[in-house]
Amino acid sequence: MKKIITACIFAFSVCVSLFAQQIPKFGIVDTSRVFQTYFRDSAAVRNFEAKKTEFQNEIVKRTEELKQLQQQKINLKEAGDEAGALKADAEIIKKADYLTAYTQAKNSELDSLKSKLENSDSFYQSLYDIIGRIAESEGYSMILSLQQASNILWYSPSVDITDKVINNLASIR
């Protein structure tokens, strides 16, 4: 009887083991965070960040000019100077249109620079090699990018291998 029970337990554990091996193991990588960490010290990223800061400063400066013009228009209206208020209003419209066009152009330029940085072949080759090594060594069936998998509604932090990828990329620098 003990042999039959032992055989049943053994058979059950083999079945569970086989079943467990067939369950796919998924992982998640936050490629945006990997990119920011990996390239944070590169000249190209410093250039991108400098341009971004320059553009933001110009937008702030132009926005302040608009606020001053709006206050000037209010003051002119209160003083009864309708002609001056209309002139200020025309200047506000002109500067607001310029600011809108400037913002759109600079955002487009920044998007283009960011895209060039993110599509660096050498970076992505290293990234994919490291993700593949981590996936194979830790038994993952699939690794998903958090940014490119818009259907991911929830994931456990235990499947996030972003830090491992960053550490491995840092070791090949």
| Mean per-residue pLDDT over the chain, rounded | 80
Instruction: Decide if 5 is inside a domain.
Output: no
> Residue 16: inside a domain, yes or no?
no
**Could you tell me if residue 56 is inside a domain?**
yes
87-96, 99-108, 139-148: least confident range: 139-148
Q: Residue type for 153, please?
A: L
Mean pLDDT of 120-125: 70
Decide which of 80 and 156 is more confident. 80
Q: Which of 2-11, 39-48, 116-125, 151-160 has the lowest mean pLDDT?
A: 2-11
Q: How many domains does the chain have?
A: 1
Mean pLDDT, residues 9-37 taken together: 68
Smallest CA-to-CA distance from 144 within 34, 23, 29, 35 is with 29
Tell me, yes or no, whether 14 lies in a domain: no
55 lies in some domain: yes
DSSP-H helix ranges across the chain: 2-22, 31-39, 43-78, 82-118, 121-138, 162-171
Query: Counting Cβ atoms within 10 Å, is residue 118 exposed (0-12), middle (13-18) or buried (19+)?
Result: middle
pTM summary value: 0.51
> Can you read off the two tokens belonging to residue 114?
């960011």
Flag whether 75 is in a domain. Answer: yes
Residue 12 domain-assigned (yes or no): no
Task: Determine the structural domain holding residue 136 and report its residue range.
Answer: 24-171
* DSSP reduced 3-state for 159: helix
Binned at pLDDT 50, 70 and 90, residue 68 comes out as: very high
Asked whether residue 18 is assigned to any structural domain, the reply reads no
